[in-house]
């Protein structure tokens, strides 16, 4: 197809215009080049139609070769015509009932005319048609309107074959040499912004962690010292009345240490009591009825939950109560824990656990629900639901669900419960002291708040530093 007629002064080579465009942008605001984008609409034939026209032309040429009067023999015609014209033309012309085929070929009609074909040929030659013709051809899906785009590039008032460098500063050399008189200075741009200052950036996890810490502090909770990643199985499991055969204590779930493989010291009196409760119970419990092994308790591991710290803190509190008097406590911690898990988009082998606990006399499940309502509403989660659950060291236990306004459904946000007497009494607490506690991961709320779907984009070696630089100041609240 021919291109539509162009003004000869126009450049239409796309690649040239783009480079010119870029260089004109790079220069100052005064125009070294003027650029106009040109658009022109024209009708063009669809590919299918083009093929059809080609066949048509063959058919027509075939027809013209047949004499107006009388007839012509096949062989003679074949000699006269191009093989393609003969082959396609003869079948098409016969189909259209223009000619009588046989050994002798003669015209059936004297004159053939195809208006549509004529119009299409006109379009193909770049001629313009009337409105009705334009529309009828389009309606018959023979033509389509195409937009031709081109650029007009001309020299601007500031055109120069080489880029001029304008001075940005008046220097000593300018003054000494005296050329300051003739130099062209770059105009000052008072709205120009300076380069962004280099500064540190907080990771989203740290921001959310800080907000949650503040919530705990506002609720008068004390932070527990969690700076201890390596823990003994005793504090991580046994003190929590978690039996030694429990699957969580398998190396498939927990990272055990090779060196040092075992802990050096444990409070022996307490260890004895824990052993007895595991083996035969006490305090209204029958225990697990198995032979408790000290070697199992000595094994060092990477803590699987911060509750290992809670058990140390509660033990210390009970000891203090025995020696002096019982002081009610509200504790919290937010720190890293480790699980031997297959890594996927929602799981890592390490994550942060948020934990809160209250130790006081006469606490009930009602207190737990009340504290949870208070805590989570400060995080923007007002609608809570609780579901009974099982945990080895809490009874009763509840999973916590929050209604997610964005997802329009209930999502699980944490776990909670009251520590069992089998855990608290061996520590030395009296019967009327209870502990309510809850836990959740830090990653999950952070991912929801920052709209991150893959945990590996949030934490670990694949994290994009740009994300950390660009992320907004944290605003807690479920969207």
Ligand X SMILES: *[C@@H]1O[C@H](CO)[C@@H](O)[C@H](O)[C@H]1NC(C)=O
Catalog residues that contact ligand X under the rule CB under 6 A.
29, 41-43, 128-131, 134, 189, 191-193
Tokens of 437: 């506690």
The residue among 60, 74, 66, 136 whose CA lies nearest residue 103 is 74
Could you tell me which of 406, 390, 468, 397 has the C-alpha nearest to residue 438? 397
Nearer to ligand X, 29 or 342 (CB): 29
- Token couple for 238: 């046994």
How far apart CA 383 and CA 398 sit, in angstroms, is: 15
CB of 156 to ligand X, least distance (A): 16
Nearer to ligand X, 34 or 346 (CB): 34
CA–CA distance from 29 to each of 161, 169, 188 (Å)? 17, 19, 13
Q: Which is nearer to ligand X, 124 or 134 (CB)?
A: 134
Name the minimum Å distance from CB 192 to ligand X.
Answer: 4
- Residue 429 burial (10 A CB sphere; 0-12, 13-18, 19+): buried
Residues 6+ apart with CB under 8 A from 46: 141, 142, 143, 144
Q: How far is the CB of 145 from ligand X (least distance, A)?
A: 7
Which residue, 32 or 446, is less far from ligand X as judged by CB?
32
Minimum distance, C-beta of residue 44 to ligand X, in the bound complex (Å): 9
- The closest residue (CB) to ligand X is 131
Nearer to ligand X, 134 or 262 (CB): 134
d(CA 102, CA 430): 119
For the bound state, the minimum distance from the C-beta of residue 29 to ligand X, rounded and expressed in Å, comes to 5
CA dihedral 18, 19, 21, 24 (to 10 degrees): 180
CB of 162 to ligand X, least distance (A): 21
* Rounded least distance, CB 205 to ligand X, Å: 34
What is the spatial distance between Cα 257 and Cα 50, in angstroms, rounded to a whole number? 77
CB atoms within 10 A of CB 226: 20
As measured in angstroms, the least distance from the Cβ of 143 to ligand X is 9
Q: Which of 115, 462 has the CB closer to ligand X? A: 115
Complex with ligand X: residue 9 or 189, whichever CB lies closer: 189
Of 128 and 374, the one with the shorter C-beta distance to ligand X is: 128
CB 74 within 8 A of CB 105: yes
Cis peptide before 260 (omega within 30 of 0): yes
Strand partners, 397: 389, 417
């Amino acid at each position: 197809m021919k291109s539509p007629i162009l003004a000869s002064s126009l450049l239409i080579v796309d690649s040239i215009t783009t480079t010119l465009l870029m260089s004109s942008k790079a220069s100052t605001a005064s125009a070294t080049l003027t650029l106009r984008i040109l658009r022109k609409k024209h009708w063009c034939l669809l590919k299918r139609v083009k093929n059809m026209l080609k066949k048509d032309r063959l058919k027509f040429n075939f027809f013209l070769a047949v004499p107006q009067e009388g007839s012509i023999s096949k062989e003679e015609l074949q000699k006269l015509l191009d093989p393609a014209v003969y082959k396609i033309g003869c079948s098409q012309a016969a189909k259209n009932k223009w000619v009588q085929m046989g050994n002798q070929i003669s015209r059936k009609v004297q004159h053939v005319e195809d208006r549509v074909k004529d119009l299409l040929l006109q379009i193909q030659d770049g001629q313009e048609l009337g409105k009705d013709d334009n529309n009828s051809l389009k309606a018959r899906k023979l033509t389509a309107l195409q937009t031709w785009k081109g650029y007009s590039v001309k020299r601007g008032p500031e055109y120069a074959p080489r880029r001029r460098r304008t001075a940005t500063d008046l220097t000593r050399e300018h003054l000494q040499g005296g050329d300051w008189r003739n130099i062209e200075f770059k105009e000052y741009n008072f709205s120009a912004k300076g380069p962004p200052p280099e500064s540190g950036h907080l990771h989203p996890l740290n921001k959310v962690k800080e907000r949650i810490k503040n919530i705990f502090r506002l609720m008068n909770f004390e932070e527990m010292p969690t700076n201890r990643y390596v823990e003994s199985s005793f504090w991580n499991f046994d003190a929590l009345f978690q039996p030694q055969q429990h699957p969580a204590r398998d190396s498939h779930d927990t990272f055990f240490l090779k060196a040092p493989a075992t802990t050096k010291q444990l409070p022996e009196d307490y260890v004895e009591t824990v052993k007895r409760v595991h083996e035969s119970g006490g305090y209204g419990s029958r225990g697990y009825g198995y032979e408790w092994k000290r070697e199992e308790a000595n094994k060092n591991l990477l803590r699987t939950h911060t509750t290992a710290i809670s058990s140390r803190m509660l033990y210390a509190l009970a000891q203090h109560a025995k020696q002096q008097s019982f002081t009610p406590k509200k504790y919290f911690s937010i720190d890293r824990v480790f699980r031997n898990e297959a890594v996927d988009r929602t799981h890592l082998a390490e994550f942060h656990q948020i934990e809160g606990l209250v130790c006081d006399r006469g606490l009930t499940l009602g207190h737990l629900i009340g504290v949870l309502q208070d805590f989570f509403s400060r995080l923007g989660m007002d609608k809570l639901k609780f579901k009974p659950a099982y945990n080895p060291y809490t009874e009763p236990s509840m999973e916590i669900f929050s209604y997610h306004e964005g997802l329009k459904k209930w999502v699980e946000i944490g776990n909670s419960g009251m520590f069992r007497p089998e855990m608290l009494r061996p520590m030395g607490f009296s019967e009327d002291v209870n502990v309510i506690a809850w836990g959740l991961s830090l990653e999950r709320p952070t991912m929801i708040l920052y709209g991150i779907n893959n945990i590996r984009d949030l934490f670990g070696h694949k994290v994009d530093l740009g994300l950390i630089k660009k992320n907004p100041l944290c605003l807690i609240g479920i969207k």
